[in-house]
Chain A
Amino acid sequence: GDSVTQMEGPVTLSEEAFLTINCTYTATGYPSLFWYVQYPGEGLQLLLKATKADDKGSNKGFEATYRKETTSFHLEKGSVQVSDSAVYFCALRPLSGYSTLTFGKGTMLLVSP
């Protein structure tokens, strides 16, 4: 079945450091890919998405590129802030049928001043 694998956390960074959170997937065909963010005590919010190979999703300084050759969708940000501290989830939605979102286990990011 479909699955998403994320790097384990927590990832601890100092403010203004470069961020990469790895995400790889297993799926039939070319699913849509998503990054969601969950701030403490809240629900998940969509951060960015990509629907086809080589697409780049971007939002709030975060970017991720859909790489079909490596089945990856790594999340990057050039300069993190304390307010970026949260749990980040990579997810996929298959191409066909009544499809639902499949999530990775999440990666906690902790940014210190």
Chain B
Amino acid sequence: NAGVTQTPKFQVLKTGQSMTLQCAQDMNHNSMYWYRQDPGMGLRLIYYSASEGTTDKGEVPNGYNVSRLNKREFSLRLESAAPSQTSVYFCASSVGTGPGTEAFFGQGTRLTVV
């Protein structure tokens, strides 16, 4: 039962470097999300994809881009990493976006930008 799989689990970047965080789900879910978790801030939505072929900005999209590669995969790209992007990143998926729909989360990627 893989669920939502994120890679890598840990990453250290230098300021200005780029990288892509990968996320894949095997639950045939339509909707996928990227959140970041910072101390005292809870989880904040970066981008989401309500369905394959669509993406929308969340609360904190600046400095990020996303790609919904297919129904299973939703990647998050940092084009030029900044120390403010040091965080734990979580990918999640859900059947849809309707009322009562729960989201399933991956294990997270801990990113440090130095």
Contact = CB atoms under 8 A, between A and B. Distances in A.
Contact of B43 (A42, A98, A99, A103): A103
B111 interface: no
A67 to B, nearest CB: 17
A106 B99 contact: no
B99 A51 contact: yes
Interface stretch (B60-68, B71-79, B102-110): B102-110
A46 B102 contact: yes
A99 B97 contact: yes
B82 interface: no
Given A100-B45, A103-B43, A51 B100 contact: yes
A90 to B, nearest CB: 9
A104 B42 contact: yes
A45 interface: yes
Contacts of B13: none
B27 interface: no
Interface residues of B, number: 27
A105 B42 contact: yes
Contact of B33 (A89, A100, A104, A106): A100
Majority secondary structure, A binding face: loop
| Size class of the contact patch on chain A | 20 to 34
Contacts of A99: 97-99
B56 interface: yes
Interface string A70-113: 00000000000000000001000101011111111110000000
B2 interface: no
Contacts of A34: 102
Contact of A98 (B50, B102, B107): B50
Contacts of B43: 44, 89, 103, 106
Contacts of B50: 98
Interface of A: 31-32, 34, 36, 42-46, 49, 51, 89, 93, 95, 97-106
